[in-house]
């Protein structure tokens, strides 16, 4: 792929747009007090250059690793850029980490400084993390930092003259992204400026993107999905990026942004879907969507209430989303496109194309990407976005990358005659029943689509048959707590169980459904920061109850 020489890295892109469209707003940041701040391209470049001057004055070792800890904010991105402008390497930390993992990343990366951003201790891990930050580690507080006893970004830039930025060599190390660690210690994935920019350069060959776009940033920037789809794209194409203030103001933030491109994960697409169903039940939708005069009006109204009425294309990734839910969004007029990628290739792997999407697949290999199936149908990918390797772990790098340069993804798949990839499960997710038969959980989970089930998990290793654990949506739980019919919901779940089992092999048939009591969250370790289930954590938590549940010999088990 031929990268634009003026946009060889995200930092090149910042100064390109600051020169080309200096007065256009780049970043829009809402604050808890109701204030909303706009930062133009020229202001962004000026702040980055001033902070780079300050970092230069600290005389840190050359190519130092510098941490960024905080929820998404305008200054998270400016800190990322300032680290690069000073010739250093950025190391993002998830705001939802526990203290032990945060301490491990800071130690393993040998971080020489930490930018501390937006945190409040309510929907993040700050209360645990704060006691694990080495007291000798220098810190700089971004706006909305929980610390007021450290040097502050705004004070620092007010007292510094802008430095001439050090535009990087595209092949230099840019960032170390620590995987969310669904099992074991997180690994440090090393990316160069070239591997990071490949996602933006490749996208322009698939989909027309311009500086007129708008996006909302709310999934964790510490993960490559948001960093690739939102940070890198906004810098490459020069469009307006908005941020969310909090979960409570999310709809208001979405309405402010009116995104033309929107990226989300299955858990949130499901939440939006369940939220619409709570206000407009599926039976009523079916009636209204079939009335010629009304259907387009109602569908537009639904999209407007979601804040997606201006959206030209929406992306979903990080985990499978059922074809039924994708079809529902498409029925509303929103082209929902499944994409696929990993931390190890900066999310640049596969995508469904606009106008030719194939539901149930993650689409074809992106421009410049090669794919194949290895042993056990494991998906292997060679991508322009492929990592330089794992930080301080050459053995794991050799294990995960073949001799001819293909990444072993850990995903199982099928490639059809059109070259579209279907993900059929994770190699490590397979488990055996007590009868010695293998069960692949993901396809079964994808078939269970009850409108009140927010997320599900197939389990049952070493049991006679698998079973399915169901976390109800907030709306469904609330309805039960306020007198809703448990018997009616139980009957519906049993019917869905029968429908799923009708499509399963004998050894895959689900013995029962368990309606779980405890919500699965990032805070209790059952979800990754991108809201994928941590299957091993969930299985370990519920294993002690399995024998009791099987002993009940009922189709629906209630944990509460």
- Cα–Cα distance measured from residue 333 to residue 338, given in angstroms and rounded to the nearest whole number: 16
- Cα–Cα distance measured from residue 270 to residue 254, given in angstroms and rounded to the nearest whole number: 17
Residue range(s) defining the domain that contains residue 72? 5-242
The confidence score (pLDDT) of residue 180 equals 66
In 3D space, the residue among 127, 14, 12 whose CA is nearest the CA of residue 78 turns out to be: 14
**pLDDT tens across 276-290, in order?**
888 888 889 888 988
Domain count, the chain: 3
* pLDDT surpasses 80 at 18: yes
Residue 444: which CATH number? 3.30.300.30
Residues 358 and 436 in one domain: no
For the beta sheet containing 378-382, the strands, ordered from the edge strand earlier in sequence to the opposite edge, are 370-373, 378-382, 407-415, 421-426
Q: Are 555 and 513 in contact (CB under 8 A)?
A: yes
Average pLDDT over residues 202-213: 88
Residues 327 and 470 in one domain: no
User: Of 149-153, 354-358, 395-399, which range is least confident?
Assistant: 354-358
DSSP string, 319-351: S---HHHHHHHHHHT--EEEEE--GGGTT-SEE
CA angle 95, 98, 101 (to 5 degrees): 100
| Pairing between β-strand 313-316 and β-strand 336-340 as defined by DSSP bridges | parallel
The confidence score (pLDDT) of residue 3 equals 61
Q: What is the mean pLDDT of the chain?
A: 92
CA angle 168, 151, 81 (to 5 degrees): 20
In a domain, residue 488? The reply is yes
Residue 148: which CATH number? 3.40.50.12780
Residues 295 and 444 in one domain: no
In a domain, residue 472? The reply is yes
Could you tell me the end-to-end alpha-carbon distance of the chain, in angstroms, rounded to an integer? 55
The confidence score (pLDDT) of residue 381 equals 98
- Cα–Cα distance measured from residue 539 to residue 486, given in angstroms and rounded to the nearest whole number: 25
* pLDDT surpasses 90 at 560: no
Residues 391 and 350 in one domain: yes
**pLDDT tens across 156-182, in order?**
999 999 998 889 999 999 999 998 654
Q: Residue 212, Cβ neighbours under 10 Å: how many? A: 10
Average pLDDT over residues 520-533: 82
In a domain, residue 514? The reply is yes
Element (H, E) at 444: helix 441-447
**pTM, entire model:** 0.87
Average pLDDT over residues 476-504: 91
In a domain, residue 407? The reply is yes
Q: What percent of the chain shows pLDDT beyond 70?
A: 99
**pLDDT tens across 226-268, in order?**
999 999 999 999 999 999 998 889 989 999 999 999 999 888 8
Q: Residue 332, Cβ neighbours under 10 Å: how many? A: 19
Q: Are 306 and 262 in contact (CB under 8 A)?
A: no
Average pLDDT over residues 149-157: 97
Residues 382 and 399 in one domain: yes
Q: What percent of the chain shows pLDDT beyond 90?
A: 66
Place of tokens 């689900």: 510
In a domain, residue 253? The reply is no
In a domain, residue 254? The reply is no
**pLDDT tens across 285-314, in order?**
888 988 988 888 999 999 998 899 999 989
The confidence score (pLDDT) of residue 184 equals 65
**pLDDT tens across 109-148, in order?**
999 999 999 999 888 889 999 999 999 999 999 999 999 9
Domain boundary among 392, 427, 462: 427
Phi-psi category of 376—alpha, beta or left, where left has phi over 0 and alpha has psi -120 to 50?
Answer: left
Query: Which residues are CB-contacts of 109 (< 8 A; sequence separation ≥ 6)?
Result: 65, 67, 91, 176, 178, 188, 391
- How many CA atoms lie within 13 Å of 399's alpha carbon, on the beta-carbon side? 6
* pLDDT surpasses 80 at 4: no
């Amino acid at each position: 792929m031929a990268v634009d020489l003026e946009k060889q890295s995200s930092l090149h892109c910042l100064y390109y747009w600051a020169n080309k469209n200096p007065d256009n707003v780049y970043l829009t940041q809402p604050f808890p007090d109701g204030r909303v701040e706009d930062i133009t391209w020229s202001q962004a470049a000026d702040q980055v250059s001033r902070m780079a001057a300050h970092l230069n004055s600290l005389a840190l070792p050359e190519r130092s690793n510098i941490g960024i800890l905080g929820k998404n904010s305008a200054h998270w991105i400016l800190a990322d850029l300032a680290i690069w402008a000073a010739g250093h390497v950025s190391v993002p930390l998830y705001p939802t980490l526990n203290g032990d993992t945060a301490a491990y990343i800071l130690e393993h990366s040998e971080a020489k400084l930490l930018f501390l951003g937006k945190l409040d201790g309510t929907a993040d891990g700050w209360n645990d993390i704060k006691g694990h930050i080495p007291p000798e580690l220098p810190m700089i507080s971004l706006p909305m930092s929980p610390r007021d006893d450290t040097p502050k970004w705004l004070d620092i830039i007010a007292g510094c003259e802008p430095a001439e930025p050090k535009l990087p060599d595209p092949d230099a190390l840019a960032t170390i992204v620590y995987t969310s660690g669904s099992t074991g210690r997180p690994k440090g994935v090393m990316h160069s400026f070239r591997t990071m920019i490949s996602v933006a350069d490749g996208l322009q060959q698939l989909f027309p993107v311009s500086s007129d776009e708008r996006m909302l940033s709310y999934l964790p920037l510490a993960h490559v999905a948001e960093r690739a789809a939102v940070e890198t794209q906004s810098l490459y194409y020069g469009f307006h990026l908005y941020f969310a203030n909090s979960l409570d103001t999310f709809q208001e933030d979405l309405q402010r942004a009116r995104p033309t491109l929107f990226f989300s994960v299955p858990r949130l697409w499901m939440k939006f879907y369940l939220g619409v169903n709570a206000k407009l039940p599926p039976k009523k939708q079916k009636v209204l969507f079939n009335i010629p005069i009304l259907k387009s009006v109602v569908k537009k109204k639904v999209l407007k209430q979601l804040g997606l009425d201006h959206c030209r294309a929406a992306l979903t990734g990080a985990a499978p989303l059922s074809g039924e839910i994708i079809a529902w969004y498409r029925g509303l007029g929103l082209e929902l496109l499944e994409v696929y990628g990993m931390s190890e290739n900066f999310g640049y792997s596969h995508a469904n194309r606009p106008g030719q999407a194939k539901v149930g697949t993650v689409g074809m290999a992106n421009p410049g990407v090669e794919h194949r199936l290895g042993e056990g149908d494991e998906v292997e990918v060679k991508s322009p976005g492929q990592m330089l390797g794992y930080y301080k772990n050459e053995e794991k790098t050799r294990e995960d990358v073949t001799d001819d340069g293909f990444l072993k993804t850990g995903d199982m798949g099928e490639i059809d005659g059109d070259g579209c990839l279907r993900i059929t499960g994770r190699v490590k997710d397979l488990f055996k029943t007590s009868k010695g038969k293998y069960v692949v959980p993901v396809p079964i989970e994808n078939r269970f689509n009850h409108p009140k089930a927010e997320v599900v998990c197939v389990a049952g290793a070493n049991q006679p048959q698998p079973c399915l654990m169901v976390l109800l949506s907030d709306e469904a739980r609330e309805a039960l707590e306020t007198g809703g019919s448990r018997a009616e919901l139980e009957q519906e779940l049993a019917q869905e169980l029968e429908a799923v089992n009708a499509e399963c092999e004998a050894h895959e048939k689900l013995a029962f459904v368990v309606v779980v009591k405890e919500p699965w969250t990032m805070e209790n370790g059952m979800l990754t920061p991108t809201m994928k289930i941590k299957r091993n954590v969930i299985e370990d938590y519920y294993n002690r109850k399995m024998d009791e549940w099987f002993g009940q010999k009922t189709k629906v088990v209630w944990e509460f």
